[in-house]
């Protein structure tokens, strides 16, 4: 907007304003009606849906679903959509940071005087696209389950104690939320972490244990599990080591 | 002493109180008149010392432009949702204990034992969802209608900070019940933060109060959730509203000003 356009806007706005109505009581009445609606909606949600609680936080176990509040789903889904691990930082923070900067600076790069959405096709299209993308990612996030079971046959030839260990490891893996981020065989979500289906042939057991203790973000560390329940941890590692 | 004068709201004539007819009032002052007089005296006393009425009049009796419609209530609805969160939050804070050993127990107490506890907790929990939705709708309205353009750029920037603060509230609040889901989701969330450029790792360390998720992490989240960020939000809403009153709200972009008739040229 140049100086002339600014002055023109202010002039026109002054006329519109002088033809308007006082904030009190006209706008205040509408605002109050809206506030009443908001209050009723919150109360109804509270009564109908309540406030449930999960089991108490326990750093050593398991059976958890690392799931954020639903309006963060789209961020988490971004991780899944942008696949290769070297791009993970880009997905987690890069894209949101860029979006935030674009949002902050919006009034400074969109300087045309036009305000009607249908005459600002780029801005309107970008806005609609952003909303659609966020809605789509939120939907994906909402429908992506985080299964707590691994449906898999033990490798042939595994017997006795080794088979027991394998089964226990499978249970720990299933209950530790790995499937929220990893795919093991047919189970779990495809991302943000890599497939673990053949992890045993990619990494030796010691390296797997090392990863679990000291992983790259966003994967949580399972150091506490290793310290407090070494057998469980060992079972988990040997289960993973036999995935080939 | 100057009497406080407020413009009379436009009331239909039928509802207006009739002035007393001369000769009926017999000159005596009833208790009702005395009470009204006392009220006016108190207001005048305060106003003489603070001059608040000027600001109030400026805020309340500014004009909103022609065409202002229901979409303009979204901002104040977001503010109302914030107030509701503040009030219900105070009640939750009366019971909450931000230590890893007691947090879960205290929330369980609120939910199952305290009078109306689950109801208030539900209002706080669902109120956060409602507030986030309202903030996004309000932002969408200002975006699609180009309300962020000259002279309201600064108000947009403040708005973006409010958006980030609102999301921070919900992120920090999610940990507080300290159940399995909130615990592990927060660990992953903080880890995601840590992958950010430049300040990412520092931000994560700050949030966790150290390199590991420890005993002080919870009280740090609590302090951020109930003191730091709400204070910032309240202050920023104040600035946001000051600018709204100072600059006026936009008219919907379709409304064109008809110049004053006396100023238009007519063809001869
Ligand atoms: C806690 C969150 C917020 C509250 C309580 C709030 C409150 C308000 C209120 C009461 C108004 C007055 C008129 C209206 O409702 O349109 C307003 C106007 C405005 N807000 Fe917000 N707001 C919030 C967040 C935001 C966000 C996230 C943005 C955008 C990034 C934003 C940008 C604006 C702009 C540009 C105006 C001027 C609109 C106009 O003049 O038509 N606000 N805000």
Q: Which domain holds residue A210?
A: 160-241
Rounded to whole angstroms, how far apart are CA atoms B217 and B201?
15
Q: Which atom of ligand 1 is nearest to the CA of B71?
A: 16
- Pick from B229, B181, B230, B189: nearest CA to B213: B189
A157, pLDDT greater than 90: no
Any idea what the CATH number is for the domain that residue A78 is in? 1.10.287.980
Q: Could you tell me if B182 and A52 are in contact, meaning their C-beta atoms sit under 8 angstroms apart?
A: no
pLDDT at residue A179, as a whole number: 80
- Two structure tokens written together for A93: 């923070």
Residue B128: φ, ψ to 5°: -65, -45
Per-residue pLDDT band for B180 (boundaries 50, 70, 90) equals confident
Specify if A189 maps to a domain: yes
pLDDT at residue B14, as a whole number: 76
Closest residue in B to A214 (Cα–Cα): B212
Chain A hits for B151, Cβ within 8 Å: 6, 10
More confident residue, A132 or B28: A132
How confident is the model over B52-68, as pLDDT tens digits? 888 988 998 899 998 89
How confident is the model over B110-166, as pLDDT tens digits? 999 999 999 999 999 999 999 999 999 999 999 999 999 999 999 999 999 999 999
Q: Which atom of ligand 1 is nearest to the CA of A103?
A: 30
For A177, left (φ over 0), alpha (ψ -120 to 50), or beta? left
How confident is the model over B12-25, as pLDDT tens digits? 777 777 777 766 66
pLDDT at residue B1, as a whole number: 46
CB contact (8 A) between residue A45 and residue B188? no
CB contact (8 A) between residue A20 and residue B64? yes
Atom 11 (ligand 1) nearest CA: B75
Average pLDDT for B192-201: 74
Specify if A223 maps to a domain: yes
Number of structural domains chain A divides into: 3
Domain ends where: A147, A171, A193?
A147
Q: Which CATH number fits domain B69-247: 3.20.20.70, 1.20.810.10, 3.40.640.10, 3.40.50.2300?
A: 1.20.810.10
Best mutation site among B72, B134, B136, B159 for ligand 1 pocket (most ligand atoms within 8 Å of CB): B159
Q: Which atom of ligand 1 is nearest to the CA of B73?
A: 15
CB contact (8 A) between residue B180 and residue A64? yes
Specify if A129 maps to a domain: yes
Please report, rounded to a whole number, the percentage of residues in chain B having pLDDT higher than 70: 88
pLDDT at residue B179, as a whole number: 87
- Pick from A220, A196, A224: nearest CA to A208: A196
More confident residue, A137 or A174: A137
SS3 call for A50: coil
Any idea what the CATH number is for the domain that residue A232 is in? 1.10.760.10
B85, pLDDT greater than 50: yes
User: Please, which contacts does A119-123 make with residues 24 or more away whose CB atoms are closer than 8 Å?
Assistant: A120/B146, A123/B143, A123/B146
B167, pLDDT greater than 90: yes
Helix intervals (H) in A144-218: 160-175, 199-202, 205-213
Average pLDDT for B231-246: 97
Best mutation site among B135, B138, B155, B253 for ligand 1 pocket (most ligand atoms within 8 Å of CB): B138
Cβ of residue B250 lying under 6 Å from some atom of ligand 1: yes
Distance B138 CA to ligand 1 centre (A): 6
Cβ of residue B72 lying under 6 Å from some atom of ligand 1: yes
Residues sharing a CB contact under 8 Å with residue B200, sequence separation 6 or more, in sequence order: A93, B193, B194
Task: Report the gap between the CA of B147 and the closest CA in chain A (Å).
Answer: 7
A210, pLDDT greater than 80: yes
Q: Where are chain B's structural domains? A: 69-247
Q: Which atom of ligand 1 is nearest to the CA of B76?
A: 10
Rounded to whole angstroms, how far apart are CA atoms B168 and A169?
37
Note whether A46 and A94 are same-domain residues. no
Per-residue pLDDT band for A161 (boundaries 50, 70, 90) equals confident
The pLDDT mean for chain A works out to 84
Q: Within 13 Å and on the Cβ side, how many CA atoms surround B124? A: 26
Please report, rounded to a whole number, the percentage of residues in chain B having pLDDT higher than 90: 58
Note whether A73 and A21 are same-domain residues. no
Average pLDDT for A51-73: 75
Cβ of residue B158 lying under 6 Å from some atom of ligand 1: no
Chain A hits for B100, Cβ within 8 Å: 57
The pLDDT mean for chain B works out to 87
Interface probe for A, chosen from B144, B148, B161 (most Cβ of A below 10 Å), is: B144
Cβ of residue B80 lying under 6 Å from some atom of ligand 1: no
CB contact (8 A) between residue B73 and residue A71? no
Per-residue pLDDT band for A65 (boundaries 50, 70, 90) equals low
Q: Which atom of ligand 1 is nearest to the CA of B145?
A: 41
Per-residue pLDDT band for A165 (boundaries 50, 70, 90) equals confident
Distance B64 CA to ligand 1 centre (A): 15
pLDDT at residue A226, as a whole number: 85
Domain ends where: A89, A116, A147?
A147
Residues sharing a CB contact under 8 Å with residue A60, sequence separation 6 or more, in sequence order: A224, A225, A228, A229
Please report, rounded to a whole number, the percentage of residues in chain A having pLDDT higher than 70: 89
CB contact (8 A) between residue A127 and residue B140? yes
Cβ of residue B88 lying under 6 Å from some atom of ligand 1: no
Radius of gyration of chain B (CA): 26
* 3-state SS track over chain B: CCCCCCCCCCCCHHHCCCCCCCCCCCCCCCHHHHHHHHHHHHHHHHHHHHCHHHHHHHHHCCEECCCCCHHHHHHHHHHHHHHHHHHHHHHHHHHCCCCCCCHHHHHHHHHHCCCCHHHHHHHHHHHHHHHHHHHHHHHHHHHHCCCCCCCCHHHHHHHHHHHHHHHHHHHHHHHCCCEHHHHHHHHHHHHHHHCCCCCHHHHHHHHHCCCCCCHHHHHHHHHHHHHHHHHHHHHHHHHHHHHHHHHCCCCCCCCCCCCCHHHCCCCC
Nearest to A42 among B130, B140, B180 (CB): B130
DSSP string, A71-83: GGHHHHHHHHHS-
Per-residue pLDDT band for A85 (boundaries 50, 70, 90) equals low
Cβ of residue B81 lying under 6 Å from some atom of ligand 1: no
């Amino acid at each position: 907007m140049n100086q002339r356009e600014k002055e023109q806007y202010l002039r026109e706005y002054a006329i519109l304003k002088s033809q308007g109505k006082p904030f009190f009581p006209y706008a205040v009445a509408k605002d109050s009606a809206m506030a009443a609606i908001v209050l009723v909606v919150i109360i109804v949600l509270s009564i109908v849906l309540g406030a449930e609680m999960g089991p108490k936080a326990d750093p050593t176990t398991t059976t958890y679903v690392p799931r954020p509040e639903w309006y963060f789903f789209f961020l988490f889904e971004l991780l899944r959509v942008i696949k290769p691990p070297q791009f993970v930082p880009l997905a987690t923070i890069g894209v949101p940071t860029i979006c935030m900067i674009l949002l902050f600076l919006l009034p400074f790069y969109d300087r045309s005087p036009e305000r009607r959405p249908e005459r600002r096709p780029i801005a309107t299209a970008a806005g609609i696209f952003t909303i659609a993308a966020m809605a789509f990612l939120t939907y994906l996030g909402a429908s992506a389950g985080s299964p707590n079971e691994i449906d898999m046959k033990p490798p042939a030839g595994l017997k006795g104690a080794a088979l027991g260990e394998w089964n226990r490891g499978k249970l720990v893996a299933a209950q530790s939320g790995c499937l929220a981020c990893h795919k093991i065989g047919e189970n779990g979500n495809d991302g943000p972490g890599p497939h673990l289906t053949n992890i045993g042939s990619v990494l030796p057991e010691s390296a797997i244990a090392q990863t679990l203790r000291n992983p790259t973000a966003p994967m949580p560390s399972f150091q506490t599990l290793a310290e407090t329940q070494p057998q469980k941890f060992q079972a988990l590692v040997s289960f993973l080591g036999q995935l080939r | 002493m100057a009497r406080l004068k407020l413009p009379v709201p436009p009331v239909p004539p039928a509802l207006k109180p009739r002035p007393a007819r001369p000769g009926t009032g017999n000159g005596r002052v009833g208790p009702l008149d005395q009470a009204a007089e006392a009220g006016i005296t108190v207001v005048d006393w305060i106003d003489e010392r603070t001059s608040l009425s000027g600001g109030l009049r400026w805020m309340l009796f500014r004009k909103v432009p022609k065409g202002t419609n229901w979409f303009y209530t979204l901002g104040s609805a977001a503010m109302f949702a914030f107030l509701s969160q503040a009030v219900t939050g105070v009640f939750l804070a009366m019971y909450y204990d931000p230590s890893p050993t007691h947090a879960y127990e205290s929330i369980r107490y609120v939910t199952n034992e305290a009078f109306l506890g689950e109801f208030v907790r539900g209002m706080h929990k669902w109120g956060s969802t409602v507030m986030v939705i309202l903030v996004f709708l309000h932002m969408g309205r200002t975006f699609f209608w180009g309300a962020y353009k000259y002279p309201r750029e600064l108000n947009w920037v403040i708005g973006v900070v409010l958006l980030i603060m609102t999301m921070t509230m919900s992120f920090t609040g999610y940990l507080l019940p300290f159940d399995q889901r909130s615990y592990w989701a927060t660990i992953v969330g903080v880890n995601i933060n840590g992958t950010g450029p430049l300040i990412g790792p520092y931000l994560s360390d700050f949030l966790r109060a150290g390199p590991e998720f420890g005993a002080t992490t919870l009280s740090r989240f609590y302090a951020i959730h109930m003191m730091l960020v709400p204070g910032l939000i309240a202050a920023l809403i104040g600035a946001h509203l000051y600018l709204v009153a100072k600059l006026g709200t936009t008219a919907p972009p379709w409304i064109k000003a008809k110049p004053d008739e006396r100023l238009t040229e007519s063809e001869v």
